[in-house]
Amino acid sequence: MRHTDPIAGSRVGTIQGTVSDATGAVVPNASVTLTNMSSGVTHATKSNETGSYLFPNIDIAVYKLNITAPGFQRYEQTNIVLEVGSSIAINASLKAGSTDQTVEVHADALALQTEDSSFKQTIDKANVSEMPLNGGR
């Protein structure tokens, strides 16, 4: 039987989205690749018949997203920051063209989590040890 660390197991999040074209029509069967920018670990999937893709339970990190589909320019978004417990949506709009052309999107800020209204925050060991005790006089 394999035992997992409950703390380490909770250090995951979800990235999902919809792939569409410039008119808003969904693009099924697009190749979607998510790469951890520090480790180089890559996850791959395809958009379904509604243009949706999903990367559930992936490690928290900074990612790069690439999407390709025949007849469209390649879509690339970098610096996607996934935090503990986050579920972020990245919807891509593909432009008509050849796949040797690339549309690059640079995300300098945290992606907005729209899938969940709860507040989540990572607290490091130093912050925990500096918290005041409850009821102490």
pLDDT, mean of residues 48-74? 96
Q: Is the pTM of this model over 0.85?
A: no
Going from the N-terminus, what domains does the chain have, and what CATH number goes with each? Answer: 6-129 (2.60.40.1120)
Report d(CA 119, CA 91) in Å as an integer. 22
**pLDDT at residue 132 above 90?**
no
Question: Cα-atom radius of gyration of the chain, to the nearest Å?
Answer: 18
% of residues, the chain, pLDDT over 70: 64
Residue 115 is predicted with a pLDDT of 54
Say how far apart CA 12 and CA 76 lie, in whole Å.
22
